[in-house]
């Protein structure tokens, strides 16, 4: 099947771009001598996970129990489930571990550490350290850090931080500084835990921007990152991607034309693109996405999705749109603001290998 | 199973509230003597469709081919697929009609009308009329209106408008005025087509706000509406719902606590709630949703989801949060800004019938 024969909206994945992005991150990790634990929250695909772990230690990061289950079934034993765990979810994790997996959980809470320690199943846990974003995690100098590690006892597997605020960074220097704060916080936390007599096997940091732009990683054992695999319009503006490297796009059809207003209507709306507005505060605001042609080239000018409804999107451009080539039914592609959210709208990827032929369909592990 | 035993995030549907909302819209339609063609784009559920069509003519509205297929298989013959059709999608519709369905398409384009007329399958089509939102459709006085109807010939089934801009209406008087403009536009368009010698069997208008607040519907044969079934925080502010009538909510767990900042972290993030910010421009901005207790009561004050990440959400409130009752693992519910988008994140509804027991699981027809 060729792209032009696919129903719309559909999700496309350019394999050569994916491979290029994976290689760039592998190089960044190798430069520091740390291993890469790819975060599968973006791709949620076993096939992508296999490519992303090539040449790495093999461990992965997941964001849902559904991912943990699917990847464990596919043979990915070493996982970190990197969303603060609740006691109620421990049975599900222990059940995977009883069947041979090694899914580690994370926490920043004394009572949860107690529940982990008391659980009859096999469990390992990392403590989440707040690297400056103040979403989850405890500060490196928080008195509870050592107490939680001690409470976890033999189940304590290490420390983890995520500098999610790196997505608000604008310059490479700023990203490097955020990465260094993330690293330094983790290293300080690890020193405190070690001083209390505990081993800290894993010291895990990462976000795509800090993983790519860290200047040094002494004391860190592994990098986690996810969105780098696909890239998106926000990542292009924070120096971790470029328009020509964005590996996922949404195939859409023209369903309305208003030449007098230089506007098109597409059938990729709020559900097909997500309502993510990550680029709103970025140097370049791409609305709900950038429209490119069927070959993926930005030949329509700055053609932006200005507004979305559930199944409709309005496109406007800074140059006259080629209406003569765009009858109702013509197909275009939309590059996403935020690849993680846009991809989540689809059950599968239609994989392209440099041409216009769909060479594979890769399922996603959606929901929870 | 009880609510407290469900994994999180999960989607809850309160059956008594759903029934109340369905009855309110049925009454509004009956008052005008028009039939109601429920739009299933919000619920995407066969079970909800059965309840929503009770006492009505039985026709439904759908927003995707996936819905058209699933509802046709479930016996819903009379459908309008209310997103501008492309020639490429006609085969799929005709194939459903060949198996006994009567799925009607919509268009505002002469070339598409030609393709519909020329298609070998059984097809009916309505012309989309622009009721003032200027998204799709042609103006009632546009010269192409009669030409498209003539081009469709025996396949012409009527006229359809959707005043989606009613969601920006603020007062009942304003909504009534938008409804009247929608009605008047359709009636004027119907008169022009009839003057050209064609019959106009269906004259279809609707959005939840205009369906509920229209003062008169002379010349209209049916109302379409969808979000009224569930209600949401935006609809509460445009006089079509109320907090106590919102029928869908997201069950979430506390995964982080920052008492010193009066903040909670929940495991219902951007994927579980959607990034819809419909209430941003409304009188009351609910961020990404309003947090209520497990019983659905707003007992936490104005507890708002202030920020989301893929799987995390930060809650802040205007009063001290009861941390003593909210350990990690405690469950809460989140009322959605926009029910259509939030529900779309889930494969199924966990149905409650006035108590805390899950009495049924109803599947959704997601994707395209």
Cβ atoms of A289 and A337 closer than 8 Å: yes
Q: Which of A83, A87, A345 has the CB atom closest to B329's CB atom?
A: A87
Paired with A264 in beta bridges are A257, A315
Q: What is the pLDDT of residue A226?
A: 97
One domain, residues B92 and B122: yes
Which residues in chain A touch residue B108, judged by CB atoms under 8 angstroms apart? 256
Is B277–A274 a contact, with Cβ atoms under 8 angstroms apart?
no
> In which domain, by residue range, is B100 found?
16-229
Is B267–A344 a contact, with Cβ atoms under 8 angstroms apart?
no
Is B83–A311 a contact, with Cβ atoms under 8 angstroms apart?
yes
Q: Is residue A305 part of a domain?
A: yes
What does the alpha-carbon distance between residue A129 and residue A161 come to, in Å, rounded to a whole number? 5
Is A135–B256 a contact, with Cβ atoms under 8 angstroms apart?
yes
- For an interface test with A, the pick among B10, B88, B337 (most A C-beta atoms closer than 10 Å) comes out as B88
Averaged confidence pLDDT in chain A: 97
Is B347–A340 a contact, with Cβ atoms under 8 angstroms apart?
no
Count, residues in chain B: 368
One domain, residues A130 and A222: yes
Q: Is residue A158 part of a domain?
A: yes
Residue A42: closest CA among A349, A275, A360, A350:
A349
Residue A226: closest CA among A242, A239, A212, A214:
A212
> pLDDT band at residue A167, thresholds of 50, 70 and 90?
confident
Is A270–B341 a contact, with Cβ atoms under 8 angstroms apart?
yes
One domain, residues B212 and B280: no
> pLDDT band at residue B296, thresholds of 50, 70 and 90?
very high
One domain, residues B83 and B145: yes
Last residue of a domain, one of A180, A198, A229: A229
- For an interface test with A, the pick among B6, B83, B287 (most A C-beta atoms closer than 10 Å) comes out as B83
Rg (CA), chain B: 22
Last residue of a domain, one of A170, A201, A229: A229
Is B8–A368 a contact, with Cβ atoms under 8 angstroms apart?
yes
* pLDDT tens, residue by residue, A283-326: 999 999 999 999 999 999 999 999 999 999 999 999 999 999 99
With 0-12 CB in 10 A as exposed, 13-18 as middle and 19+ as buried, what is B288?
buried
Element at B190 (helix H, strand E): helix B172-195
Residue B187 has pLDDT above 90, yes or no: yes
CATH number for the domain spanning B115: value is 3.20.20.10
Mean of pLDDT values over A164-187: 93
Which residues in chain B touch residue A256, judged by CB atoms under 8 angstroms apart? 84, 108-109, 135-136
Is A328–B253 a contact, with Cβ atoms under 8 angstroms apart?
no
Preceding amide of A9 cis, omega within 30: yes
With 0-12 CB in 10 A as exposed, 13-18 as middle and 19+ as buried, what is B118?
exposed
One domain, residues A215 and A253: no
DSSP A35-52: EEEEBTTTT--HHHHHHH
One domain, residues A223 and A259: no
Which residues in chain A touch residue B328, judged by CB atoms under 8 angstroms apart? 84, 86-87, 107, 109, 111-112
Shortest alpha-carbon distance between residue A206 and chain B (Å) = 15
Q: Is residue A134 part of a domain?
A: yes
Is A84–B277 a contact, with Cβ atoms under 8 angstroms apart?
no
CATH number for the domain spanning B290: value is 2.40.37.20
Q: Which of B257, B274, B346 has the CB atom closest to A367's CB atom?
A: B346
* pLDDT tens, residue by residue, A244-263: 999 999 999 999 999 999 99
Q: How many CA atoms lie within 13 A of B135 on its CB side?
A: 24
One domain, residues A219 and A276: no
Q: Which of A64, A258, A310 has the CB atom closest to B63's CB atom?
A: A310
* pLDDT tens, residue by residue, B32-54: 999 999 999 999 999 999 999 99
Q: Which of B63, B84, B367 has the CB atom closest to A347's CB atom?
A: B367
Paired with A291 in beta bridges are A334
What does the alpha-carbon distance between residue B43 and residue B41 come to, in Å, rounded to a whole number? 6
* pLDDT tens, residue by residue, A103-115: 999 999 999 999 9
> pLDDT band at residue B10, thresholds of 50, 70 and 90?
very high
Return the residue of B nearest to A82 by Cα: B311
> pLDDT band at residue B168, thresholds of 50, 70 and 90?
confident
Q: Is residue A214 part of a domain?
A: yes
Q: What is the pLDDT of residue A166?
A: 86
Last residue of a domain, one of A229, A257, A278: A229
How many structural domains does chain B have?
2
pLDDT > 70: percent of chain B: 100
One domain, residues B55 and B163: yes
One domain, residues B116 and B253: no
Contacts with A158 (C-beta within 8 Å, 6 or more apart), sequence order? A126, A127, A200, A201, A202, A203, A204, A221
Return the residue of A nearest to B114 by Cα: A328
Indicate the range of A166-175, A224-233, B278-287, B355-364 predicted with least confidence: A166-175
Cβ atoms of A26 and A48 closer than 8 Å: no
One domain, residues A7 and A31: no
- For an interface test with A, the pick among B309, B316, B346 (most A C-beta atoms closer than 10 Å) comes out as B309
Q: How many CA atoms lie within 13 A of B331 on its CB side?
A: 21
Q: What is the pLDDT of residue B167?
A: 86
Q: Is residue A236 part of a domain?
A: no
DSSP B276: -
Which residues in chain A touch residue B85, judged by CB atoms under 8 angstroms apart? 255
Q: Which of A92, A328, A340 has the CB atom closest to B111's CB atom?
A: A328
* pLDDT tens, residue by residue, A11-51: 999 999 999 999 999 999 999 999 999 999 999 999 999 99
Q: What is the pLDDT of residue A308?
A: 98
* pLDDT tens, residue by residue, A151-161: 999 999 999 99
CB atoms near residue A229 (< 10 Å): 27
Preceding amide of B9 cis, omega within 30: yes
What does the alpha-carbon distance between residue A124 and residue A97 come to, in Å, rounded to a whole number? 10
DSSP B30: H
* pLDDT tens, residue by residue, A325-349: 999 999 999 999 999 999 999 999 9
Q: Is residue B292 part of a domain?
A: yes
Is A256–B109 a contact, with Cβ atoms under 8 angstroms apart?
yes
> pLDDT band at residue B170, thresholds of 50, 70 and 90?
confident
Return the residue of A nearest to B306 by Cα: A135
What does the alpha-carbon distance between residue A270 and residue A311 come to, in Å, rounded to a whole number? 6
Q: What is the pLDDT of residue A169?
A: 87
Q: What is the pLDDT of residue A92?
A: 98
CB atoms near residue B236 (< 10 Å): 22
Averaged confidence pLDDT in chain B: 97
Q: Is residue B236 part of a domain?
A: no
One domain, residues B78 and B210: yes
> pLDDT band at residue A171, thresholds of 50, 70 and 90?
very high
- For an interface test with B, the pick among A142, A163, A264, A309 (most B C-beta atoms closer than 10 Å) comes out as A309
> pLDDT band at residue B169, thresholds of 50, 70 and 90?
confident
Torsion-angle region of residue A152: left (phi > 0), alpha (psi -120 to 50) or beta? Answer: alpha
Is A311–B63 a contact, with Cβ atoms under 8 angstroms apart?
yes
> pLDDT band at residue B330, thresholds of 50, 70 and 90?
very high
One domain, residues B122 and B206: yes
Q: Is residue A235 part of a domain?
A: no
């Amino acid at each position: 099947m060729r792209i032009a024969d696919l129903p719309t909206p559909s999700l496309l994945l350019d394999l050569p771009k994916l491979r290029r992005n994976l290689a760039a991150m592998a190089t960044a990790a190798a430069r520091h001598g740390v291993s890469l634990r790819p975060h599968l929250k973006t791709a949620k695909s076993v096939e992508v996970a296999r490519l992303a772990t090539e040449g790495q230690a093999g461990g992965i990061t997941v964001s849902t129990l559904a991912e943990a289950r699917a990847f464990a079934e596919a043979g990915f034993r070493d996982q970190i489930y990197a969303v603060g765990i609740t006691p109620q979810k421990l049975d599900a994790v222990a059940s995977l571990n009883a069947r041979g997996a090694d899914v580690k959980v994370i926490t920043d809470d004394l009572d949860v550490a107690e529940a982990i320690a008391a659980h009859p199943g096999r469990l390992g846990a990392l403590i989440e350290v707040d690297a400056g974003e103040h979403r989850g995690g405890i500060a490196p100098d928080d008195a509870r850090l050592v107490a939680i590690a001690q409470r976890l006892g033999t189940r304590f597997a290490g420390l983890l931080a995520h500098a999610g605020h790196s997505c608000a960074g604008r310059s490479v220097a700023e990203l490097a500084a955020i990465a260094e704060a993330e690293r330094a916080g983790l290293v300080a936390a690890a020193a405190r835990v070690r001083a209390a007599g505990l081993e800290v096997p894993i010291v895990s940091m990462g976000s795509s921007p800090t993983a790519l732009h860290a200047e040094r990683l002494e004391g860190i054992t592994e990098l986690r990152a996810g969105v780098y695999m696909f890239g998106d319009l926000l990542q292009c503006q924070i120096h971790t991607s470029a328009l020509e490297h964005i590996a996922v796009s949404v195939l859409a059809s023209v369903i309305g034309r208003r030449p007098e207003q230089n506007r098109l209507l597409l059938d990729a709306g709020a559900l097909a693109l997500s309502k993510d507005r990550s680029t709103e505060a970025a140097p370049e605001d791409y609305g709900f996405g950038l429209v490119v042609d069927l070959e993926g080239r930005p030949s329509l000018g700055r053609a932006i999705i200005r507004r979305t409804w559930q199944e409709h999107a309005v496109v406007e451009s800074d140059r006259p749109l080629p209406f003569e080539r765009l009858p109702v039914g013509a197909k275009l592609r939309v590059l996403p603001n935020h690849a993680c959210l846009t991809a989540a709208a689809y059950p599968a990827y239609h994989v392209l290998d440099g041409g216009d032929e769909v060479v594979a369909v890769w399922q996603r592990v959606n929901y929870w």
